Structure 1
């Protein structure tokens, strides 16, 4: 069931804008320039009136012609300056907003991304901020200058001829009565359209991101159906929006034409009776257009305002999320310190517990292996050690200090994590080796070759024509699984971690690649505290300690021989794999 959109007030939108670094001088000059443009525009019909009333070849005065020409030129130049400055303000605002959102997003807890698709989040950063920019850059200046233009024009028209002004003003309540209900309807449709666009973007990004899974599963028809359903929803919402516009445009046109015809007819009678000059009628019609044009944009402005308010709700929702690391914490060296896990429990989203009262210790330099049935919680332990999540209860200590009191950057800089998938970023091998290192630009090529040699990766990298500058493709698709793993190991060598974690690091490799990667891992493990997850017991029988986890609980701790003697399930595992 879809969550119902709640009505969002204007206050959060204004509060958000006030927190951004708006170029106040550019905004002020831009608005003043718009004001001047509007005022100059109000002078033009008066000059036209004088020109028409005294029109003859003999009476064409050079000063009057020059005055009209200068008015048009000044209006055009100042309007150009205004548009540029207000566009700059809008671009600066949206850039500042995107910077804040990006800085926030990359520091949110992993749990946020477990619950929200990446495509939906991208839509918030790109589309929602773009809506705010459009309002500030395009619609807000038009709204302000439109109000000034209407007020100025009405005042001048009252002075010129109050009776005709009264005839014209009868149309205003009619226009408002029609436009406001349509505007509210439009805002509701627009908000639904934003939500569906974000949802559709998320689906497209997920499908294209897993294109190999989709094709290997022959799921083209399924994904085509899902995509068409999403497109159809967007189409229907777009058509609802089009229906509103189809009502607004003709109604506005009808009102405008009725007013113009009425003014021309009534004004023509008055001109014929000598109660009004021809120039006054022409000026009146020009001022009428200066009222009608802004009125036509107001409905659009209020629609965009509703969109911006909805976008602001989502933007603020992200900006108010708690950071992964709320405050400055200690930077410490964790070398030669014991890692202790004490009564650790954890569950996702208040659901069933994934871990319950897990405890073990890793002395400096020890190899601790984790074994047990799939889904028992082994990878979750690593997620907690990486501080992707916070435990529901219990404590993780390094020495005597809880790791929650250590800065996340300091903690993760001293941990090497080699996973089963060996995640890679699009770019070159060099960029992937140095990814995240503060001194990446200054690392010597010789050092990179040294770590690739230690990871048994140098040979295949040198076979590429571009060597370390070889592009690996999105998520490293141009490399084999074994090649990606060896680059991940080389990256870990380069970081020189104090604690090494390996999650099924050879599970998806063929026997030849596994042998090479295992050699590289053995070299990497030397002299480090190492935590290993492996389904293949042959890779962990020499561990200093094996922690057996099933259904979120530790049911056995000891060496291979000790568990063979005391743990029946481990004995069954060993019998299946080692005989």
Structure 2
């Protein structure tokens, strides 16, 4: 029930509208209870009075009741729509806000589709509960309690027949509800798995087509969907037993009321109008109980979905900061590694061992080494995407674990080999780190990055949509947009991760010229596989099997005739 309390905690912001909705529900339900009494009076009047004036009056009263009920139904529906949609929007915002603040290790062990499923299918299940189930529970609760009270007033003897089946419904609801909750959780997990595979396949559609893997991809998705379908059928089977069971008990009770009530009408202890009124109230109570069983099954499904949502919301955002994190007003850009060992969470293999080196402010340092040496891992420790279990990393002589993560990363920018662009416009991608940058600042950054000319050549210029992951731009164009994005951020520390290793000669020349402008006056750590990329570096650090094996300038390392000299002979293509 703690999940339910947390879920309805999102309602606090909409208390005013919720009160209006409750008023609409209460009045509408109360007027619904007036209808059977008027019908009973109408029957008795029709049987005992030949004057149609009374019938006319009762019919007009009935019409008035329906009209007022319609007005309060409008209030109920509109208010609940505002509350329900608002709560779901808040829930989606809260989930996404937590997702983007989660640390990098969280994403290493999870599929993208599984995470986005929390925002789509799970929230959709919760939406149905918040938007409609709350109102239905209140409406049916008033109808059931009011109906039972009026049943007792009309005929205590007949009321016993109605009350007898209540324990049967409650016990049955509890039993079936537990089953439905467990099965619904399984179903949502399978749907998340299928969504994750679909997301990966669509994102990598060119790989699928290059290897003619359409059939195998469709087959895998088909298997995942069949698995979720089988669980859905199992859930439908339990529902198919549950609902008819409740319906049978309800109508069986109605038959009992007709049998006992008919006898009372025949012996004169109950009027025909009272029997009709009692039957209508019995239908209202039975309908309310039947609705509660359906609401209970919906609630169990929502609890299954909300469990996964709240698991996500309960994840600790980012890595732990100190109680009073240091915010450096002006980062100069010195970097120091002191005895750093590192292994990825959940893996036993040590990726980095006893890393010790220092980078002075404004110095350009190139990391060189064979594939798998730990270069990319090392640079991910600088912005504190991970914390090393041994050793420490200092920026401007302050341990990164003592610094504010936001201020630390705001002083850095990266240009990776595989540039990641959003599917919006070029301008939107450029402003990702500087939302308030002016058009003039965008143009200046792009001119420095050798990107302005090709952007201006597009019909829509900076409003050109780049497509998902920037697919409408060439590799060199994406690189230059990324460089312009980094220039716009004006970082003190720059990370270049193999930034030119996948470009042709012409594109590399343009990118290299842009990088040289970007690196001016900034502390730069560059991962390189090409000799041309590292020649401009002030110092090279050579890694092998997670350890620093050489350090010095290009000429010094060539003269040393070590690993770097061998890699240089092969043009650093390893």
TM-score, normalised via structure 2 length: 0.93
Question: What is residue 380 of structure 2 aligned with on the other side?
Answer: 383
| 1:58 maps onto 2:54 in alignment | no
Instruction: Mark the runs of 5 or more structure 2 residues left unpaired by the alignment.
Output: none
Q: Distance in 2 between matches of 1:143 and 1:471?
A: 47
- Counterpart among 241, 244, 249 of residue 243 in structure 2: 249
Tell me, yes or no, if the aligned pair for 1:383 and 1:389 is still in contact at 8 Å: yes
Q: Deviations over 1:347-403 (max 9, x none)?
A: 111422211111111112221011111111101111111222222222222222223
Checking the alignment, whether the CA contact within 8 Å between 1:542 and 1:560 is kept in structure 2 is: no
2:99 maps to which residue? 105
Structure 1 pair 409–301 and aligned structure 2 pair: CA distance change class (3 A): same
C-alpha contact 1:22 1:92 (8 A) present in aligned 2: no
Cα-to-partner distance string for 1:526-579 (whole Å, 9 max, x where unaligned): 222221111123321342211111111111111122223335222221222289
2:268 partner SS: coil
Aligned to 2:75: 81
Provide the rounded CA distance (Å) in 2 between the counterparts of 1:26 and 1:450. 50
Q: How many Å apart are 1:14 and its aligned residue?
A: 0.7
Structure 2 equivalent of residue 24 of structure 1 = 15
Which one is further off, 250-259 or 495-504? 250-259
Normalising by structure 1, what TM-score? 0.92
Q: What's the CA shift for 1:16?
A: 4.8
In 2, are the aligned partners of 1:140 and 1:301 still within 8 Å (CA)? no
- Determine whether 1:281 maps to 2:288: no
Deviation of residue 193 (structure 1)?
A: 0.9
CA contact (8 A) 1:51 1:60 kept: no
- For the residue of structure 2 that corresponds to 1:54, the secondary structure is helix
Q: Which residues of 2 match residues 256-405 of structure 1 at below 5 A?
A: 256-324=250-318, 326=321, 329-351=325-347, 352-405=349-402
Where does residue 426 of structure 1 map in the other structure? 423
Q: Please give the root-mean-square deviation of Cα atoms over the aligned residues, in Å.
A: 2.2
Matching residue of 1:130: 124
Instruction: State the alpha-carbon separation in 1 of the partners of residues 519 and 412 from structure 2.
Output: 12
SS in 2 for 1:345: strand
Match of 2:155 in 1: 161
The worse-fitting range, judged by mean Cα deviation, of 374-383 and 159-168 is 159-168
Post-superposition Cα deviations, 1:24-79, rounded to whole Å, max 9, x if no partner, equal: 22222322332222222222211211111011451442543332222222222212
1:547 maps onto 2:544 in alignment? no
In the alignment, structure 1 residue 477 sits paired with structure 2 residue 471: yes
Matches within 5 A, 1:178-193: 178-193=172-187
Q: How many equivalent residue pairs?
A: 567
Could you report, residue by residue, the CA deviation over 1:499-546 in whole angstroms, capped at 9, with x for unpaired residues?
Answer: 221111011111221122122212222222221111123321342211
Unmatched 5+ stretches in structure 1: 1-9
Tell whether the 8 Å contact from 1:342 to 1:359 is kept in structure 2 after alignment.
yes
* Conservation of the 8 A alpha-carbon contact between 1:548 and 1:557: yes
Say if 2:10 and 2:87, in contact at 8 Å, map to a contact too: no
Distance 2:6 2:247 in 1: 37
Paired position in structure 2 for 1:488: 482
- Range that drifts further, 395-404 or 224-233: 395-404
The answer on 1:566 being equivalent to 2:557 is no
Shift of the alpha carbon at 1:475? Answer: 0.9
Residue in structure 2 matched with residue 4 of structure 1 by the alignment: none
User: Compared with structure 1, are the counterparts of its residues 578 and 228 closer, same or farther at alpha carbon in structure 2 (3 Å cutoff)?
Assistant: closer
- Displacement, 1:295? 1.1
Residue 540 of structure 2 aligns to a residue whose secondary structure is strand
